[in-house]
Amino acid sequence: MVADSYQDHILLTWKNYISGKNWTPAIRQQIVESWNRCNQAGVNPYDNSIHNKLDEAALHAKLLEKQELIKIAKPFMANLYKFVQGSGFVVVLTDEQGYIMEMFGDEDTLSNPMTKNFFRGASWREEAAGTNAIGTALVIKKPIQVSGAEHYCQKHHCLTCSSAPIFDDYGRVIGILDMSGAFYMSHLHTLGMVVAAAEAIMAQLDIQRKNRELVLVNRRLTNIFNTMSDGVLMIDNRGIVNQLNPAAKKILNKEESEILGVSFDRIMNGKAVATWRMLNNKEPYADIELMVDTKKSKFHCWASGEPLTDEQGKVIGGLIILRPIKHVQNLINRFSGYHATLQFSDIIGESKEILEAIRIASLAASTSSNILLQGESGTGKEIFAQAIHNRSELRNGPFVALNCGVIPRELIGSELFGYVEGAFTGAVRGGKPGKFELASGGTLFLDEIGDMPLEQQVALLRVLQEKKVTRIGSDKVIPVNVRVICATNKNLPQEIEKGTFRQDLYYRINVISINIPPLRNRAQDIPLLFRHFLDKIGRDRGCKFYVEPQVIACLQNYAWPGNVRELQNIVERAVSLAESEVITMAHLPMELYAQQNPVYFSKESVVSPNVNEISRREQRRKIANEAERQHILLLLAKYGGNVSVVAREFGVSRNTLYRKMRLYAIEN
């Protein structure tokens, strides 16, 4: 009776609202607001036609778009329908626009006047169907039950509808779950059942999403696991390998069947002490060098291990990462500058002497033979070595250079061959690979090989013959694949006669000999080199330098004991001293004049310190005067004899310039 009385009150209120009479809104605020929206949208409360529907193509597209939601919701809808089956109730699922996508109902649902508007593709938005649980829930985004005359359209007064929105992870409405039937069968528990089912659907959607994420994460981890260049092994708490990636098989040089189910300690030939400590004491370890040599496999790598624990912190296994020594060395070489940057095109010169050296070096680059570069200091032996490396098949490998003449004799062995931890006082923890190991797969350039101590020459010869190296303090043999290029400024046959260089080592390194000519023997290349270095500095400074002709002539008459390196230093000195962009004789060092003007240095000059000092002062004065004279001549030629401009450029008055011109017998 109370319910009938309430419905009578609602019906009277509805009639007054629709007719525009004065009325008291003694109903739920949500219903009043919905009526107002329907009124403003122009919904006809007396329209008795069938609801608008999507065409077949649009409905098909909608069903494809929402197929996951439909698939997850159907079992919950079926369970919900079991409670009302045969009572005329329907259970429907709509999208976020109020179109029905799936429904459960009795056989007479479509012919029943009460439920004839419930069919796939039917629109239940407020704008199309007036106030109803589906359309209103879409607006307020909350569960709601609408009964009898609370519906804005009269044709739905026979219904009671209970709806709950379905949200995605971002709080957006993606659908509505609704159960509708005869209004006289209305019960608050109906809405509760719908809300519970909607929450169950959202929970299942969340599970599905997390499962997808887990599958995606697992797929990504699997891809990373399988494509890592480092070897990865998973072991259980007994040390048995239960998983590994392709890189691990390659590093261990074994088939998968030889690794899975086998103790890691057995694979390591009994050298997995750190792994047992990890499993027993939960101690991780990092970068332990492992070198295993068995009949079936041989590998050399760095190993790191991390224990795996359960929720209680108990060790259930471990993760072991193997990094091949070669990969680590390549990384070290990359960041330590162990690579060659120079090519044959970087060798400047057109003289037949230098072109012949380049020709032989280019031919030698295509071989794997050891090469001996012979030439004075400063001729560019390392440039040749780098160019040969970059032309060879090993160009993608490291280029490691070692100057045998600057390393103390007691350290050269450790530099070449490396050492293990504790090999000698001061040895770094963990040991250190030598240059042969670092250069493996590439080129080792041994500069000043003539200065290598005899005792190390024996060890070097053995490595060159056997292609194997043993670190100081160790008995483990490490294979190396290295192309050796040696260089010297000494006459090695003479050193052999003196007993300071081994003859057998000489023949081992001197497979292909290349003589690099001194700069004094290629005078025609001096202007090219001078201009090359000058232009390089000019590009860095954003300017272009002009060179007096006398400068080039002076350079070509100099003996160049320091060769190309000395020439490069002189260019830098001249540029540093030049106050303008003109390089003059005054910017060249004294020794260039002294060698070409020996009159300034008499034998008597070395007898008495006082006489010697006087002679040097006189020499400097004459050189300065000549440089100033040449500078004035250059400026007069440059400015067409305009004395005023030349004086201003020279930084003196016209009278002073005229006086200097008379002093130096310069005619304008």
Q: What average pLDDT does the chain have?
A: 86
Whether residue 551 contacts residue 588, with contact meaning beta carbons closer than 8 Å, is answered with: yes
- 90 and 144 housed in the same domain: yes
433-460 residue pLDDT tens: 888 888 888 999 999 999 998 888 998 9
Give me the pLDDT at residue 607, please.
38
Residue range 314-341: average pLDDT? 74
Give me the pLDDT at residue 330, please.
60
Whether residue 91 contacts residue 73, with contact meaning beta carbons closer than 8 Å, is answered with: no
Give me the pLDDT at residue 405, please.
84
The domain that holds 19 is classified in CATH as: 3.30.450.40
Residue range 64-68: average pLDDT? 93
Report phi then psi at 401, rounded to 5. -110, 140
- 241 and 375 housed in the same domain: no
- 116 and 164 housed in the same domain: yes
481-494 residue pLDDT tens: 899 999 999 999 99
Q: Is the pLDDT of residue 570 over 70?
A: yes
| Within a domain: 522 | no
The domain that holds 456 is classified in CATH as: 3.40.50.300
Could you tell me what percent of the chain has a pLDDT over 90? Answer: 44
Of 303-312, 415-424, 543-552, 614-623, the range with the lowest mean pLDDT is: 614-623
Collapse the DSSP code of 1 into the 3-class scheme (helix H, G, I; strand E, B; otherwise coil) and give the result: coil
Q: Is the pLDDT of residue 606 over 50?
A: no
| Confidence class for position 598, pLDDT limits 50, 70, 90 | very low
| Within a domain: 344 | yes
171-189 residue pLDDT tens: 999 999 999 999 888 777 8
Q: Is the pLDDT of residue 515 over 90?
A: yes
- Examine the fold and report which residue of 271, 296, 330 is the final residue of a domain before the chain moves on: 330
Structure tokens at 307: 């224990």
- 344 and 324 housed in the same domain: no
Number of domains in the chain: 4
Q: Of all helices (H) and strands (E), which one includes residue 469? A: strand 468-470
Helix/strand/coil percentages in the chain, nearest 5: 50, 20, 35
User: Sheet harboring 285-293: ordered strands across?
Assistant: 241-244, 231-236, 315-324, 298-309, 285-293
- 147 and 41 housed in the same domain: yes
239-293 residue pLDDT tens: 999 999 898 888 888 888 888 998 988 888 777 888 988 999 998 988 787 777 6
Structure tokens at 275: 């792994």
Radius of gyration of the chain (CA): 47
610-646 residue pLDDT tens: 545 556 566 666 766 777 777 788 778 778 888 888 8
| Within a domain: 221 | no
Of 196-205, 411-420, 443-452, the range with the lowest mean pLDDT is: 411-420
Structure tokens at 14: 């509805």
| Within a domain: 527 | no
6-53 residue pLDDT tens: 678 889 899 989 988 877 677 899 999 999 999 999 999 999 999 988
Alpha-carbon separation of residue 505 from 445, 456, 497, 502, 513 (angstroms): 15, 11, 14, 5, 14
| Within a domain: 531 | no
Q: Is the pLDDT of residue 557 over 80?
A: yes
| Nearest of 463, 485, 484 to residue 472 by alpha carbon | 463
- 273 and 194 housed in the same domain: no
| Within a domain: 215 | no
| Within a domain: 444 | yes
State the residue range of the domain holding 245.
228-330
Give me the pLDDT at residue 609, please.
44
- 342 and 201 housed in the same domain: no
The domain that holds 280 is classified in CATH as: 3.30.450.20
Using left for φ > 0, alpha for ψ between -120 and 50, and beta otherwise, residue 316 falls in: alpha
- 319 and 354 housed in the same domain: no
- 321 and 353 housed in the same domain: no
- 75 and 114 housed in the same domain: yes
- Examine the fold and report which residue of 150, 179, 209 is the final residue of a domain before the chain moves on: 209
- Please, what is the angle between helix 67-82 and helix 56-65, to 10°? 90
- 254 and 376 housed in the same domain: no
Give me the pLDDT at residue 220, please.
85
Report phi then psi at 533, rounded to 5. -65, -35
- Examine the fold and report which residue of 175, 209, 243 is the final residue of a domain before the chain moves on: 209
Residue with tokens 């369970």: 79
- 325 and 342 housed in the same domain: no
| Within a domain: 523 | no
